[in-house]
Every structure is written in C-alpha cells, then in structure tokens.
C-alpha cells in the first residue's frame, strides 16, 4: 500500500539530466522518425517513468514496482526536448485510490530546463493486488 | 489568408490509416531506447509466469508509434502539443511474428490554430488504445 503521507506530495527532481543526441536518435530509430532535431512526443517518458520508479519504490512511499501496470498516459508539450537540454523532473503524486484490491495512482511529472517548463505528463499506474 | 501544406486539417476529416509492425526485435530496441527493461516485454517464460498469454509490447511503445502517426499527420513532431490515451488491451507479440498496429484518426475539432485528433489504434483487430487524442498546431 502507498503511504498516505505521500499523496499530494511533490518530489523535486534534484538530479540534472543532460539530453544527448544519441538517446534521441535511438528513440527516433525505433519509431522510424527521420527528423531527430527534436525529441518525439513521447520521448520524455524515458525520464519521467524512471524518476517515478525511484520515488514510488522509496521506503517512504512503499510501492512494489513489479506489480505495476501502466493504465493511461498523457503529455502536454510546451516546447520539444532537444539535445543539449539540461533538465530536471519533479513528480507529484496527485491521487491514489483502491479499486477491487488494486491501487490506482496518478502521478504528474514536470520536466523543466532552467526555469522553463518543457513537458508535463500524467501517468496512471495500477498496482495489481 | 489560406493555410496550405501538410498540416491543413478540417473538422470531420478522416486521416489516412497507417500500419506499423511490431516484433520481438523492436521490443528489445524500444527497451534499450526507453530504459524500460521489464521482462514481460522480452522474456516469454517470465511473461507467461505472471499470467500473460505471451510477451506483450510496452504500452509506451504502442504510444510512441501512434505518436509518430500524429507527428506525420501534423507535419512534424514540433506541432504535437498534447497527446494521451488509455491502455485498454496489450499488444501481444509472439516469437517469429510481425504483429500489426493499425492507426487511423479523425479531426474532431479545429479552433484557434489547433486541431484535435480522435485516434483509433488496433492490433489483430483488438482496440489497444482507448480515448486516444492529440492536439496539434496547424
């Protein structure tokens, strides 16, 4: 079960991540995108989902990642990510509820470069009973 | 002024269908590109041990491919402003097979320089994304 104290909390991204051209190229190659001058629309999941795993599986939150299923996903792109961006990702556990023994957790991730918000995304994660 | 070019869209316009193909090699490639190495997307024995029919594609791989469809329809990734959907059924990827992901869309709204696309995505005839929508700049 998720720790009730963690619901509504924002976990600031303290680690700066420098986006490389090679990681954008690799993502583009999977989907057949020939223009890798900017990251494709869903590229930021590479950053946000990894961060969510670290936060949600920390002892203070207490989620078991191996029972996790991705329920839905939404992106709001203010400015596409590109190589050379130095970004941080803050994550907020917006809500958690239980349905038939499964925990349904909504996480918002905000990816910023300096003070500029680049991408906000929302993930619904289902922790199966 | 009249807008011309790839990104011109009008309400109720039906956009051309596109078929993507997924196989085990693509799942491995996506695992490496995304950092999601969950074994349910690579290891058949593991997938079956947790009650899945076979290896399944990452939901986010499905969404990445649908995102490519949206980028193409809009005239480039830079025009994609919002994109979302619900993972309704997994895309099942048996060994040695190329599995289809069939994507189409309708322009459901056009306003203030933006178009909203209502997207359909199926694999083997089964709907794999629900409530899939994108907002693109015109």
Q: What is the mean pLDDT of residues B107-136?
A: 97
**Strands in A1-129 per DSSP E:** 10-11, 17-18, 68-77, 86-99, 102-113, 116-127
| Residue B2, φ and ψ in degrees, nearest 5 | -100, 130
pLDDT band at B1 (very low <50, low <70, confident <90, very high): very low
Query: Structure tokens of B112?
Result: 């203030």
pTM (2 d.p.): 0.94
Q: Would you state the pLDDT for residue B2?
A: 41
On the question of pLDDT at A125 being above 50, the answer is yes
On the question of pLDDT at B3 being above 50, the answer is no
| Residues B13, A114: Cα–Cα separation, whole Å | 40
Which residues fall within 8 angstroms of residue B25, CB to CB, at 6 or more apart?
Answer: none
Neighbour tally for B63: CB within 10 Å: 27
Of A26, A49, A75, the CB nearest to B82: A75
Put simply, the answer to whether B33 touches A46 (Cβ < 8 Å) is yes
CA A123 to chain centroid: 7
ipTM: 0.94
On the question of pLDDT at B137 being above 90, the answer is yes
pLDDT band at B4 (very low <50, low <70, confident <90, very high): very low
pLDDT tens per residue, range B17-74: 999 999 999 999 999 999 999 999 999 999 999 889 999 999 999 999 999 999 999 9
Of B29, B60, B80, the CB nearest to A45: B60
On the question of pLDDT at A20 being above 80, the answer is yes
């Amino acid at each position: 079960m998720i720790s009730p104290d963690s619901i509504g909390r924002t976990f600031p991204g303290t680690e700066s991540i420098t986006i490389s051209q090679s990681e954008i190229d690799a993502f583009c190659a999977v989907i057949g995108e020939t223009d890798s001058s900017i990251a494709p629309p869903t590229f930021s999941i590479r950053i946000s989902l990894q961060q969510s795993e670290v936060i949600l599986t920390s002892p203070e939150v207490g989620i078991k990642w191996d029972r996790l299923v991705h329920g839905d996903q939404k992106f709001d792109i203010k400015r596409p990510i590109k190589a050379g961006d130095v970004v941080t990702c803050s994550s907020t556990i917006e809500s958690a509820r239980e349905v038939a023994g499964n925990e349904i957790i909504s996480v918002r991730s905000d990816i910023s470069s300096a003070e500029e918000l680049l991408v906000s995304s929302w993930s619904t994660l289902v922790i199966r009973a | 002024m009249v807008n011309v070019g790839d990104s011109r869209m009008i309400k109720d316009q039906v956009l051309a269908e596109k078929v993507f193909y997924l196989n085990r090699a693509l799942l491995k490639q996506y695992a490496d590109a995304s950092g999601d190495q969950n074994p349910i997307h690579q290891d058949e024995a593991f997938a079956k041990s947790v009650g899945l029919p076979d290896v399944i594609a990452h939901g986010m791989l499905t969404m990445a491919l649908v995102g490519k469809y949206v980028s193409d329809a809009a005239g480039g990734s830079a025009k994609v402003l919002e994109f979302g959907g619900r993972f309704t059924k997994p895309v099942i990827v048996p060994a040695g097979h190329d599995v289809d992901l069939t994507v189409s869309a309708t322009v459901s709204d056009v306003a203030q320089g933006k178009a909203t696309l209502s997207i359909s995505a199926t694999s083997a005839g089964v709907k794999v994304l629900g409530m899939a929508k994108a907002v693109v700049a015109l």
